[in-house]
Amino acid sequence: MTALLELRGVSKRFDGLVAVNQMGFDINKGEVVGLLGPNGSGKTTLINLISGALSPTQGSICINGQDIAGQRADRIAKAGIARTFQLVRILPSMTVLENARVPAAFGAKSHWGYEIDQIAMSCLKMVGLEDMAGAYPAELTYIDQKRLELARALAAEPEMLLLDEWLAGLNPTELQMGIALIKKLQSTGITILLVEHIMEAVRALCPRCVVMNAGALIADGPTSEVLANPDVIAAYLGEGHDA
Amino acid sequence: MTRILLSIAAPLIALTVLAFAPSFLGEYELGFMVSLMSYVTLATAWAMFSGPTRYISLATVAFFGIGAYTVAVFNEVLPYPVVLLIAVSLGALLATFVGFATLRLAGIYFVIFSFGLAELVRQLITWFEVNITGTLGRYIFLPFDTKHIYWQLLALAAITIAIGFWIRRSRLGLALKVIGDDEVVAAHSGIALARTKVLLFVLSASLMTLTGAIQSPRWVYIEPTIVFNPTISFLTVIMALLGGATRLWGPTLGVIPLMIIFEWLSASFPDHFSIFLGALFILIVFLLPNGVLSEIEARLARLKKEPAK
C-alpha cells in the first residue's frame, strides 16, 4: 500500500526557535492517526505546515506523490487536504448551509449549481446539523459550531482531513457524541490526522499515534505501545517518573 | 419566480424611461442627471469591491481622474472609442499594480494608502504638465451635447449594475463574501485570495476610469485640481454606505437622496457645503452603519416577529 501523505525532514524555524524539527512519517489511505505531544511541542505548527497556513523552512510534504510543501493554502486545499481550526472559525454573515457550500464550490472538485447544495446538505446530515441549515452561526451552540466546522471541512470532499483539537472544550456527553461522529467518518474511508489531548478519545479513535516533543518525533506506532513508551511518558510527566 | 421577473423587469422599465429623459428634461435637470448617473456608476463600482471585502478605498478619484485626463490628452489626435480604450487600459494597469502591491495591507493602512495614491497621481500629473508640457490646463473639444454624455453614462451605469447582478450569482461573488468574512477560511477552502481581490479591484477601477473619461467633455477645460478632487472619493463612499455597500441596489438608493441634498446645499449654502458634508458623513456612519436597505429589512423582520408574541 502506498502512502497518501508523506512527510520527510519537515522543519519550521521562527528566527532562533525551531518549532518543528526534521519530522518524518507516512499516513496510508484510510488510516486515522493521532498526533500527540505536550503543549508547545509543535503539533499545531505541523498542522499549519501541512495545510499551508505556514510554509516549512525545509523538507517535503507529499500528498499522492505530489509535493505541496510551501504552496499556498488554496492550492493545498485543491490538492485534497481539509482542516478544522483549534479555535472555531465560522463565516458569521452566512447561514449554516452557506458555510458548508463554500468548500464544495472551491475545493478539489469545484462544483457549481445544484451539486453544491447537495454536497453541503449531505455533509450537514453527516454531522447531524440538517435541521439548522437555515440558521446563522451566532444561533448555534458551541458543539454545533464545531459540527458545522467539521461539515464544512467534509464539504471539500478531502482525501486527508486534519482535525486540530476538534474535541477540545466539549462536556462529557458532547465528547461521546463527538467521538461517535468521528468513528462514523472513519467508516467512510476518509484519512484523518487528529491533534488531541483527550486520551479517552485517542484510545477510542486512533489505532496509531505519532508523538512530538520540542518539535521532534519521539514515537510512532500502535497507540497502546506508544503510550507505554518511556520517552513519551517522560515528555508528558518529566524525567524520573516510572510508568 | 415573480421576484426574479420583478428584479429584471422593473430595472428594464426604469432604464427605458431614463433613456427618454432628454426629451422631457431641461438643460439644467439633464446636467443634474449626468452627475447622478456618474455617481450611480462610481458608488456601485466602489461597492462591488469594497462592499464584500470591507477594504475602504479612497482611490476612486485616482481612477476617475485618469479617465478624464486620458480624454483630455488624446481627444484631438485619436478617435473617441480608441481614447476610451486607452483610458480603461491605463486604469486597469494602475489597479493591477496597486492591487498586487497593497491588498496585503489591512484596514486603516489600505484606507490611507488609497487616499495617498489619489494625491500622488494628481501631483505627478501636475508636475509633468508644469515641467514637461508647460501648460497645466487642457481643453476637451468633442462634438457631444449634454444628452450624448447622459446616454453614455446611463449605459455605463446599467452595465455596472448588470455586472454587479452577475457577480452576486457567480463563484467570484461567493469567493468575495467568504474573503470578507474570514480570509483564513477562504484560503483553506480553496479560494485564491490575491487573484480574487485584484480581479475585483481592477474591474471596479476600470468602471471608475470609464466614468471619468465619459464625463470629462462636460468640463471643456480641465486641470488636475478639478478631476482629482478628493471630494469625489468621499462622496462615493458616503453614498454607497448610506444605501448599503453589500446590496446591489444599495449604492443607487444612497446616490439619489444625497445628490438632491448636495445640489440644494451647494446652491443655497455654497460656503458651508463641506460642513454639511462632514456632518452627514458622521450621521450616516453612526445611525446607519449597514445602510438604509439593511435597516429597513431589520425593521420589517422585527414587525413580522412582534405579532407572534
Q: pLDDT tens track of chain B, all 309 residues?
A: 577 777 788 888 889 888 888 888 888 889 999 999 999 999 999 999 988 888 889 999 999 999 999 999 998 889 999 999 999 999 999 999 988 887 777 678 888 999 999 999 999 999 988 888 887 788 888 888 888 999 999 999 999 999 999 998 888 988 998 998 898 999 999 999 889 999 999 999 999 999 999 999 988 888 888 889 998 999 999 899 888 888 888 899 989 999 998 888 888 888 888 888 888 888 887 887 777 777 787 788 777 766 544
Distance CA B124, CA B205 (A): 19
Closest chain A residue to B196, measured at CA:
A74
Q: For chain B, report the end-to-end CA distance as a whole number of angstroms.
A: 31
Residues shown for chain A? 243
Distance of alpha carbon A2 from alpha carbon A4, whole angstroms: 7
Contact at 8 Å (CB) between B55 and B103?
yes
The pLDDT of residue B309 is 42
Q: Is the pLDDT of residue A1 over 70?
A: no
* Distance in angstroms (rounded) separating the CA atoms of residues B68 and B70: 6
Q: Do A93 and B188 lie within an 8 Å CB cutoff? A: no
Exposure on the CB side of residue B110, measured as CA atoms within 13 A: 17
Residue among B64, B46, B66, B65 at smallest CA distance from B56: B46
Q: In this complex, which of B175, B188, B193 lies closest to A51 when CB atoms are compared?
A: B188
Give the mean pLDDT of A158-181. 90
Computed on alpha carbons and rounded to an integer, the radius of gyration of chain A in Å comes to: 18
Question: CA A63, CA A157: separation in Å to the nearest integer?
Answer: 15
Q: Are B219 and B75 a contacting pair, CB within 8 Å?
A: no
Nearest to A102 by CA among A84, A78, A120, A76: A120
Taking the CA of residue B163 and the nearest CA in chain A, the distance in Å comes to 19
Q: Where are the beta strands (DSSP E) in chain A?
A: 3-14, 17-28, 32-36, 58-63, 66-67, 81-83, 160-164, 191-195, 208-213, 216-222
Q: Which residues contact A159 (CB under 8 A, 6 or more apart)?
A: A4, A29, A63, A64, A80, A81, A108, A190, A191
The answer to whether the Cβ–Cβ distance between A73 and B175 falls below 8 Å is: no
d(CA B2, CA B10): 11
With CA atoms as reference, report the closest residue to B210 among B76, B64, B31: B64
| Alpha helices by DSSP H, B192-249 | 193-215, 224-227, 230-243
* Cα distance between the two ends of chain A: 35
Burial class of residue B274, CB neighbours in 10 A (0-12, 13-18, 19+): exposed
Question: Which of B188, B191, B195, B297 to probe by mutation at the A interface, max A CB count within 10 Å?
Answer: B188
Please tell me whether the overall predicted TM-score, pTM, comes out greater than 0.90 for this model: no
Check if the beta carbon of residue A191 is closer than 8 Å to that of residue A27: yes
Give backbone dihedrals phi and psi of A208, rounded to 5 degrees, phi first: -130, 145
The rounded mean pLDDT for chain A is: 89
Averaged pLDDT for residues A176-194: 90
| pLDDT at B307 (0 to 100) | 58
ipTM of the complex, rounded to two decimals: 0.88
pLDDT of residue B268: 86
Cell representation of residue B265: 446645499
Chain-chain contact of B192 with A74 (C-beta, under 8 angstroms): yes
pLDDT at residue A239, rounded to an integer: 67
Interchain pair B192, A72: CB under 8 A: yes
Residues of B in contact with A77 (CB under 8 A): 187-190
Instruction: Determine, for residues B185 and A89 on separate chains, whether the beta-carbon distance falls below 8 Å.
Output: yes
Question: Where do we find the cell 505546515?
Answer: A49
Q: How close is the nearest chain A Cα to the Cα of B64, in Å?
A: 32
As a whole number, mean pLDDT of residues A98-114 equals 86
**How much of chain A exceeds pLDDT 90, in percent?**
58
Of B181, B184, B186, nearest to A93 by CB-CB distance is B181
Task: Please name the helix (run of DSSP H) or strand (run of DSSP E) that holds residue A64, with its range, or none.
Answer: none
Chain-chain contact of B184 with A83 (C-beta, under 8 angstroms):
no
Cα gap A68→B36, rounded to integer Å: 51
